[in-house]
């Protein structure tokens, strides 16, 4: 059974994986035997990522690429195939969020979020699928969100993009499942990262931050997730163990989407 979860001999590309969730997923893939490739938009971020992987004893391959630019993506994929090998696993992790009330958000700001969070996964998947078809297999994993299912104040663009990404996932499954390509999504819950640290700080009076209290009250697990909580699901969806799982969104949220929340005391 353990062999089914092995990624030995596989080339895995995780976008935006210099740090955070992408870094945790790529590191888990390396431990499972995969060769790791990642990109970021600036050389300094790529260098930072390479150093972080090296600290874990992982030899990663880093590339500078704007995933919203189709020409840059096609050039990067060609270079990876030449220097590392054909990509077996693609994780569309790169993303942004702009927390702005909808009526205060410009159309340009809305388009930017859609471009990074939805158009880029389309561009990336389109670039790797032809070689996956030739190779006879492939895994595409899109990092969705609970906002693929729910709305929330100030995240209209993000929710629209992540809802679209859920349906893009299902459509890639529909079009390319016949070629032994599986496309699934992971929907993280609220994850403890440097970006969310201010929301988890203990207040001067010793109480929890109001948003921290809100998340704990909505989460049956009664805690924030850790980036490592995504490792097992990500390895499963990248491995032979999930060869008949396709078009599915696996929510790793501690139960939030199953729960109406605590009754106010």
Q: What are phi and psi of 138, to 5 degrees?
A: 180, 155
Q: Is 158 a catalytic residue?
A: yes
35-40 sheet: strands from edge to edge: 60-64, 35-40, 11-15, 89-92, 138-143, 181-188, 249-252
**How much of the chain is helix, strand and coil, in % rounded to 5?**
50, 15, 35
Judge contact between 139 and 238, C-beta under 8 A.
yes
Judge contact between 216 and 207, C-beta under 8 A.
no
What's the DSSP call for residue 108?
H
Catalytic-role residue among 29, 63, 158, 251: 158
For residue 73, give every residue at least 6 positions away whose Cβ sits within 8 Å of its Cβ, in sequence order, or none. Answer: 65, 67, 123, 124, 127
For residue 134, the tally of other CB atoms under 10 A from its CB is 10
In three-state secondary structure terms, 162 is helix
Catalytically active residues, by annotation? 158
């Amino acid at each position: 059974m353990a062999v089914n979860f092995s990624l030995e001999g596989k080339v895995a590309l995780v976008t935006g994986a210099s740090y955070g969730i992408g870094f945790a997923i790529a590191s888990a893939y390396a431990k499972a035997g995969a060769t790791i490739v990642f990109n970021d938009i600036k050389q300094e971020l790529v260098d930072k990522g390479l150093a972080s992987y090296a600290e874990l004893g992982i030899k990663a391959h880093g590339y500078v690429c704007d995933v919203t630019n189709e020409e840059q993506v096609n050039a990067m994929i060609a270079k990876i195939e030449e220097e590392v090998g054909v990509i077996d696993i693609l994780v569309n992790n790169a993303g942004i969020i702009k927390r702005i009330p909808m009526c205060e958000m410009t159309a340009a700001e809305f388009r930017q979020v859609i471009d990074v969070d939805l158009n880029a996964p389309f561009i990336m998947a389109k670039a790797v699928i032809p070689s996956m078809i030739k190779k006879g297999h492939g895994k595409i994993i899109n990092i969705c969100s609970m906002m693929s299912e729910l709305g929330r104040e100030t995240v209209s663009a993000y929710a629209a993009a992540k809802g679209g990404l859920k349906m893009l996932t299902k459509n890639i499954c529909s079009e390319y499942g016949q070629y032994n390509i599986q496309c699934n999504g992971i929907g993280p819950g609220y994850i403890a990262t440097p970006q969310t640290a201010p929301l988890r700080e203990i207040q001067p009076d010793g109480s929890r931050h109001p948003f921290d209290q809100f998340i704990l009250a909505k989460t049956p697990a009664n805690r924030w997730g850790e980036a490592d909580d995504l490792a097992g699901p990500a390895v499963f969806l990248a491995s032979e163990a999930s060869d008949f799982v396709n078009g599915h969104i696996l929510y790793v949220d501690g139960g939030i989407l199953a729960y109406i929340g605590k009754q106010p005391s």
